[in-house]
């Protein structure tokens, strides 16, 4: 991406074909952080891999709990009672007036749970590529904010729409797709047109997929709209250390902190409530 006009260019371009300015090395190479852990994890996949580790850790925990529970489905299909115990989203009425009143943290924890092996593998496959693309273009701070806010917005709309149990990373993934669509809308050039066309097709496929029984369309729509709005407002990263970038970094850390607090509140409830 050209640092002067922000148009999409290839990695081989030395002169931007749009503004004719000289283009330096990639930002990651200039900072010397092209990889993490001695090159074991590329920097643009570091945040994605952290999310995947949390997802798989919780999937293993829910699988073991489900297998030990009476009538538990195990790895291929984790039972609803186990998912509720581990922080699945429930209806807004339960969070406001029902037995789960005040458990707002479910809007956060639900995004890290999955209902079966196929569910987590499909979401992980999409996240592994999509997360790195968003991270590379928008930066790690924006990626964290997009992911967190889209997931919460998706499950909030889902809780308002239906009392059914809902879990999964797909609301956040729809948010990342929405952010990429916003990039194609706000930027110019052939690459921006390609990005817009590709991710609009992704969004259409997801909406069609959401028509299947048991799929939470409200979470997908809520996450996608939130991601598009955030991507549209956020824009592309500016100079390191600028007030805007410091604000995004602080927002990302706030999202991480709120996630940790949500899981802490879940753990306290989980250990104190009867099984």
166-188 residue pLDDT tens? 999 999 999 999 999 998 888 77
Mean pLDDT of the chain: 84
Q: How far apart are CA 2 and CA 4, in angstroms?
A: 5
Q: How far apart are CA 237 and CA 244, in angstroms?
A: 9
170 is catalytic: yes
Percent of the chain with pLDDT over 90: 50
174-232 residue pLDDT tens? 999 999 999 888 877 777 788 888 889 888 988 888 888 888 999 999 999 999 999 99
All domains of the chain, ordered by start, with CATH? 1-32 (no CATH), 39-272 (1.20.1540.10)
Q: What is the pLDDT of residue 6?
A: 57
From 220, 262, 273, 275, the catalytic residue: 220
From 151, 170, 182, 262, the catalytic residue: 170
Q: What is the pLDDT of residue 27?
A: 41
- Phi and psi at 269, nearest 5°, equal -65, -40
Task: State yes or no: pLDDT of 4 exceeds 80.
Answer: no
């Amino acid at each position: 991406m050209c640092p002067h006009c922000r148009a999409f260019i290839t990695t081989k371009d030395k002169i931007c074909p749009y503004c004719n300015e000289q283009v330096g090395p990639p930002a990651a190479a200039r900072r010397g952080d092209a990889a993490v852990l001695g090159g074991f994890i590329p920097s643009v996949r570091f945040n994605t891999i952290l999310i995947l580790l949390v997802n798989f850790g919780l999937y293993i925990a829910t699988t073991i709990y489900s297998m030990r529970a009476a009538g538990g489905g195990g790895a291929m299909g984790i039972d609803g009672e186990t998912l509720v115990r581990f922080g699945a989203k429930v209806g807004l009425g339960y969070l406001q007036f029902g037995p789960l009143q005040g458990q707002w943290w479910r809007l956060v924890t639900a995004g890290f749970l999955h209902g079966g092996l196929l569910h987590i593998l499909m979401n992980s496959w999409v996240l592994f590529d999509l997360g790195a693309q968003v991270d590379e273009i928008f930066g790690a701070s924006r990626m964290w904010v997009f992911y967190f806010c889209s997931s919460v917005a998706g499950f909030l709309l889902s809780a308002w729409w239906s009392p059914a149990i809902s879990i999964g990373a797909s609301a956040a993934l729809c948010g990342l797709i929405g952010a990429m669509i916003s990039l194609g809308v706000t930027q110019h050039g052939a690459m921006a047109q390609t990005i817009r066309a590709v991710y609009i097709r992704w969004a259409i496929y997801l909406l069609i997929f959401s028509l299947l029984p048991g799929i939470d369309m409200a979470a997908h729509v809520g996450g996608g709209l939130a991601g598009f709005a955030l991507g549209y407002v956020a824009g592309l990263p500016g100079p390191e250390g600028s007030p805007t970038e410091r604000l995004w970094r602080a927002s990302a850390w706030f999202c991480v902190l709120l996630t940790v607090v949500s899981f802490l509140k879940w753990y306290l409830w989980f250990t104190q409530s009867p099984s």
